[in-house]
Amino acid sequence: MKPQSIARLASLFILGVAGFILLLGAYLWLETERVSREIRAREEQSARAEVMAGLKQMQSRADSLARALALWDETRQQLVFTDYYTLWRDARVRDAGMVPESVEAVGLYDKQGRILVAPAAAHPLLRQVPGVAPLFLLQREHGRSYFLVFLPVHADPDGGILLGYLGLKFDYARELRQVRTYQFADLGKLRVDLPEGSSVSLAQAPTYTRYSTYLNPDRVAFHDLFLTSLLRLMVVILFLLFLAAWLLQHLLVRPLRAFSAEIAQLREPGVHLPGKSYIVPLAVLELENMRHSFNDYQMRLSALHNNLEQNSRDFYDQARRDALTGAFNRRAFDEDWKSQDEDRRLGPLALLLFDCDHFKAINDTYGHQTGDLVIQNIAAALLEALRSADRLYRLGGDEFVTILSEADSYRAEVVAERCIEHVLSMNFRQYGMSEPATISIGIALSEGDGITLHELQKRADLAMYTAKRPGSRKLVFYSEDMGGMAALVGNREISAVFQAIANPDLIELHYQSVIRLPMEIREYVEALTRIRFEGELIGPGAIFPIVQARNLDMELDLAVLRALERDMTLGRLPAGQGVSVNLSAPSIVNAKVVDALIELIHKQPGRKMVAEITETALITQIEVASDNIRRLRETGCLVALDDFGSGYSSLRYLASMPVDLVKFDISMVRLLESGDRRQCLMMEEIANLVVTAGYEMVAEGVETRELLDKVISLGFSHAQGFYFDQPTAPNEWS
């Protein structure tokens, strides 16, 4: 977490506490409102219960009144003799005290429910009983609400003889208010939401009756008092918080800032500035003691600081240098280019990536001490060859890199060739090596085309990979055909190699004749490895760099032996046709590979077999290799020392391993065509030495009649090359 200033932390703390207080106040206010709403809801429920009870009491009272009136003899007489009905209705009923004042109208109906005489009053009854009595209705008429009661009137007490019906009309609001006392329901502004002229049963009256609820003065007073108190409390707390913030600022934050500024002034060696904090003591005792203690130590630390600075500069330089070569190391490379922002766009420059060829073989053959000397000499040669302003970085192992600023392709090639020449001029024989050490260089250019350093490194690495392939020039510039499809092709070829090892049927062996001299007849053929993958033929230039980089030599050799057995079994190789097969350095010391070849020889009696040992310079277990070679020779198999004179194979291995044939590398054979008398003489002497030692010789790369005549004259017993034929599949033999 990024450190924060004490002022910021104090402010955040005060704001956090203030925010918490505000949230707490808001929470209490919301809770108060919620409780108030719940109390209000309970009051409304109580008011509704009161109204329901009032309606029941009103219905019960009206029913009692109507039944008493229906049992009155005069009521029965009016239904039988209607002569004085109007007088009875308008005066007699009220004079007799049979109905209260809340009754707006009284009426009698015949047996068919028709009113006897339509009243002329302002609030008349219905002309027809609207149903089966008894009925209790709520009616809306002329903007007012009425409570209607209809009861049957019988002639006998048992109710068997129906004389007619009695109807009463009450003022709904007045009657409802009179039946009881209301504590919660306020019926002062009671209204009924019914359409004009419509009526509903009394049971539905609560649905259409609208009224308000009395406010509880105690609850309202408590609610207002609580909110007022809460607001005042929050104001007091916030005031105290701001007071605390002010005290914190003046008693802690400002002194700590002054103390921090004083410490910052003391960072430079020899500087001792007391500052304002010395004049005005700090208010906090602990801070004052800490300030004085720190300054007591500062004087002694200043003396040490000067020594540490010098040591730091020395250590910094050592940490950025490679101890073995004196060149800058990977850390220096990363730091130098990180300081210039690795992702920025680069101007015109060239990145050169150097790699020592076959360094692992040198290490394994001559020992790590010799390997270190080789690396030291290569680094010295490169430093001497580079321009004075150029830096050489050792990235690790045998890999170096340099950046040539303001360099185009011509300047980069000149520097690269000079590096190769300087390395070749080094005398590595003084360390017991019998072959020179060489380097491969991958070059990537940035001509202001907007690429980053990271992309430039990837391009140089790809160019390096190309330079290390067999037959490639030792310095290679990156080109677009490498970048566009390199990843895709590489992945396809890697997949092809692994699948071919798992399934030897993907291996397609091509065969090239090895000619017996001077008769010029085919004695045997050499099996050369190809892979048929996804309809395309992948050659050795793509196969073997992958195999060597991933240490798949033994696995591939076993797969090639199975493919060779397949061709023999299927008759692709004529019966009795001799064949040679290549074994890598790891395979010749591996019992499993040697046993597989011996088993194949036993399955093909009478067929001439030759085992060509490649990359002999990579063989570290000479005694094991020699024992395996003897086992092969005991089966009748001939053994050839391949690539003689290429750096992979030398007189040392010729003297230490029991072989039958020596195959001169194409680079050695081509010396006969160079026109250089010294080179030709050297080739003649070497050939004479090999023949005198009792070995048969094979010349590789014979492409002209003139070269063939020269190798015959030197005593070569066999020749191989395009002059005779090219490697072809068995089905293409003529």
Burial of residue 399 (CB within 10 Å: 0-12, 13-18, 19+) is middle
- Cβ atoms of 431 and 376 within 8 Å: the answer is no
Contacts of 241 (CB under 8 A, 6+ apart): 14, 17, 18, 21
Q: Regarding beta strands 399-405 and 348-356, do their DSSP bridges make them parallel or antiparallel, or are they unpaired?
A: antiparallel
User: What angle do helix axes 254-265 and 6-70 make, rounded to 10 degrees?
Assistant: 150
Q: What are phi and psi of 612, to 5 degrees?
A: -100, 120
- Cβ atoms of 598 and 581 within 8 Å: the answer is no
Count of C-beta atoms within a 10 Å radius of residue 41: 10
Pairwise CA distance, residues 330 & 322, whole Å = 8
Structural domains of the chain, with CATH: 8-214 (3.30.450.20), 328-478 (3.30.70.270), 490-732 (3.20.20.450)
pLDDT value of position 123: 64
Three-state secondary structure string covering 696-713: EEEECCCCCHHHHHHHHH
Per residue in 418-463, pLDDT (tens digit) is 999 999 999 888 888 877 888 999 998 887 666 777 778 788 888 8
Coil, helix or strand at residue 58 = helix
Burial of residue 424 (CB within 10 Å: 0-12, 13-18, 19+) is middle
Blockwise average pLDDT, block size 10, the chain, 734 residues? 72 83 85 85 89 91 90 88 86 86 88 82 78 88 89 87 91 88 86 88 89 81 81 86 81 72 62 49 68 66 62 69 88 75 62 85 77 92 90 87 88 92 90 84 80 77 78 82 51 83 93 94 94 88 78 90 94 91 89 94 93 69 87 94 69 76 89 86 90 92 93 94 91 66
Pairwise CA distance, residues 458 & 460, whole Å = 6
The one-character DSSP state at 350 is E
Pairwise CA distance, residues 272 & 278, whole Å = 12
> Would you mind telling me the total number of residues written for the chain in this entry?
734
- Cβ atoms of 324 and 404 within 8 Å: the answer is no
Please report which residue ranges of 149-284 form alpha helices under DSSP H.
172-178, 205-208, 217-248, 254-265, 276-279
pLDDT value of position 8: 76
What residues form DSSP beta bridges with 170? 103, 147
Tokens found for residue 575: 């019966």
Pairwise CA distance, residues 71 & 61, whole Å = 16
Largest CA distance in the chain: 171
Q: What are phi and psi of 507, to 5 degrees?
A: -80, 125
Which residue is associated with the tokens 């065969």? Answer: 511
- Cβ atoms of 169 and 100 within 8 Å: the answer is no
- Cβ atoms of 404 and 346 within 8 Å: the answer is no
Coil, helix or strand at residue 399 = strand
- Cβ atoms of 553 and 530 within 8 Å: the answer is no
Rounded-to-10 torsion of CA 155, 159, 163, 169: 110
Coil, helix or strand at residue 730 = helix
Tokens found for residue 127: 């002309």
Q: What are phi and psi of 618, to 5 degrees?
A: -90, -5
Please report which residue ranges of 342-479 form alpha helices under DSSP H.
359-366, 368-385, 409-424, 453-467
Q: Which run of H or E residues covers position 18?
A: helix 6-70
Q: What are the distances in angstroms from CA 341 to CA 122, 320, 350, 408, 457?
A: 102, 19, 17, 22, 15
Determine the distance from the C-alpha atom of residue 384 to the mean position of all C-alpha atoms in its chain, rounded to a whole number. Answer: 46
- Cβ atoms of 501 and 563 within 8 Å: the answer is no
Pairwise CA distance, residues 639 & 661, whole Å = 6
- Cβ atoms of 494 and 548 within 8 Å: the answer is no
Tokens found for residue 591: 């019992």
Residue environment code for 346-383, b if the CB has 16+ CB neighbours within 10 A, otherwise e: beebbbbbbbbbbbebbbbbbeeebbebbbebbbbbbb
Count of C-beta atoms within a 10 Å radius of residue 199: 19
Pairwise CA distance, residues 423 & 382, whole Å = 7
Q: Which long-range contacts (CB under 8 A, 24 or more apart) does 27-33 make?
A: 28/230, 29/227, 29/230, 32/223, 32/226, 32/227, 32/230
Q: Regarding beta strands 475-477 and 439-447, do their DSSP bridges make them parallel or antiparallel, or are they unpaired?
A: parallel
Tokens found for residue 254: 């400002």
